[in-house]
């Protein structure tokens, strides 16, 4: 008789190729990844070779335990393994020494994506070092503003950087982003401009390859100047309107908001007129924009000078979508009827092919006249 067939052993997670095992671990934060060492002998040291590290204080109860864990992981990790991404999230003040070590480790191991979110509490600046492998950098300070020594026209720290996201930084350079020749996406949130010895605090965004730009909630900026000829998307929510010497011919999406009405209870007519002129000048520089979003304060500014819209030719020949977003009011009277009278010809030169929408706040925040204006404009 033939020998009895051997029972087939059921496949286990140990039978997976190591590349797939590492890919599974890459979806876990560092604490959970380390804990997989109890699964089997195969997994004891597997976590030391994962290409993604995420240190998150939310996974720990005590700061000293978190700090010790980070140091141990960096010490025991396989230093020959590649490091694609590192994320460091700290909700309580950690030591400057620990943050420096995390950044130094990332830079020295050729990290491609680096993200850090911290409570600064007087920290002077972000640690910086030369790292040509870095392509994406996201830094966030949730309390104090922190300097970024790598910003400036002479910077050579991250020559291959394509994505830069900064939250709560202090900018001290006249041309902070011109040192990144490969930059394509720039986000600048709740930061401040502080150029020593300069009366006019001018933010110059000079980046010839930039495609996407978002600036919101930034302070101490008297004027923003752009030199971004390839820009396709721009969201600007500030206390001025950006200026561009040449047309932004590639720009397809524009989101614009003026935050001054939230801050100032009174503004002189001359100042309002100049702001309106700056806004219309910006519109004249975007002849091919296809999607335009205006918020309540921007709409109010246009509402103050409706005849300016009537006497100017429309630059929006390619516009396909117009959105008025009134979910947050600016404590100023906003009426749609005058815009209906003077603005349609300016913003909607091709009404049949333009998608138009108005997003309103709660009904109780509007008067009966305002509501009738909305219905008539739609």
Q: Residue 19: what pLDDT?
A: 79
Q: Residue 333: what pLDDT?
A: 53
In tens, the pLDDT along 105-123 reads 999 999 999 999 988 656 7
- With a pLDDT cut of 70, the percent of the chain lying above it is 83
Determine which of 14-28, 113-127, 200-214 has the lowest per-residue pLDDT on average. Answer: 14-28
Looking at the DSSP bridge assignments, the partners of residue 125 are: 147
Number of H helices and number of E strands within the chain? 11, 18
Structure tokens at 322: 């117009």
Q: Give ∠ CA 234-236-241 in degrees, rounded to 5.
A: 115
Q: Cα–Cα distance between 15 and 21 in angstroms, integer?
A: 9
In tens, the pLDDT along 267-302 reads 788 888 999 999 999 999 999 999 999 988 888 888
Structure tokens at 31: 């604490």
Sorting pLDDT into bands at 50, 70 and 90, what band is 2?
very low
Q: Residue 231: what pLDDT?
A: 97
pTM value > 0.85: yes
Report in angstroms the alpha-carbon separations of 321 from 206, 256, 352. 28, 14, 11
Q: Cα–Cα distance between 378 and 375 in angstroms, integer?
A: 5
Mean model confidence pLDDT for the chain = 83
Residue 252 has pLDDT above 70, yes or no: yes
**Average pLDDT for 339-363:** 71
């Amino acid at each position: 008789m033939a020998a009895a067939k051997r029972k087939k052993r059921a496949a286990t997670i140990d039978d997976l190729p190591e590349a797939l095992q590492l890919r599974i671990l890459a979806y876990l934060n560092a604490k959970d990844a380390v804990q997989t060492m109890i699964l089997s002998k195969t997994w004891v040291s597997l976590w030391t070779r994962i290409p993604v590290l995420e240190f998150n204080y939310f996974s720990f109860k005590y700061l000293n335990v978190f700090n010790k864990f980070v140091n141990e992981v960096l010490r025991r990790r396989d230093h020959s393994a590649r490091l694609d991404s590192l994320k460091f999230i700290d909700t309580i003040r950690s030591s400057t020494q620990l943050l420096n070590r995390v950044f130094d480790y990332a830079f020295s191991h050729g990290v491609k994506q680096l993200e850090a979110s911290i409570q600064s509490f007087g920290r002077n600046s972000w640690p910086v070092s030369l790292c040509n492998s870095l392509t994406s950098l996201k830094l966030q300070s949730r309390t104090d503003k922190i300097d970024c020594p790598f910003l400036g026209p002479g910077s050579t720290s991250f020559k291959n950087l394509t994505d830069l996201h900064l939250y709560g930084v202090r900018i001290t350079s006249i041309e902070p982003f011109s040192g990144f020749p490969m930059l394509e996406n720039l986000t600048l949130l709740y930061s401040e401009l502080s150029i020593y010895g300069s009366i006019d605090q001018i933010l110059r965004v000079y980046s010839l390859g930039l495609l996407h730009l978002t600036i919101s909630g930034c302070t101490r900026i008297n004027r923003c100047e752009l030199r971004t000829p390839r820009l396709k998307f721009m969201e600007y929510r500030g206390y001025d309107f950006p200026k561009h010497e040449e047309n932004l011919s590639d720009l397809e999406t524009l989101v614009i908001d003026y935050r001054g009405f939230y801050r100032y209870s009174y503004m002189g007519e001359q100042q309002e007129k100049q702001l309106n002129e700056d806004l219309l000048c910006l519109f004249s520089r975007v002849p091919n924009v296809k999607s335009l979003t205006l918020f309540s304060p921007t709409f109010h500014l246009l509402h103050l000078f409706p005849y300016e819209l009537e006497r100017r030719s429309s630059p929006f020949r390619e516009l396909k979508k117009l959105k008025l977003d009134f979910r947050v009011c600016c404590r100023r009277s906003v009426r749609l009827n005058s815009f209906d009278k003077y603005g349609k010809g300016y913003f909607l030169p091709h009404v049949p092919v333009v998608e138009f929408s108005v997003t309103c706040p709660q009904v109780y925040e509007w008067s009966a006249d305002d509501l009738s204006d909305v219905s008539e404009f739609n």
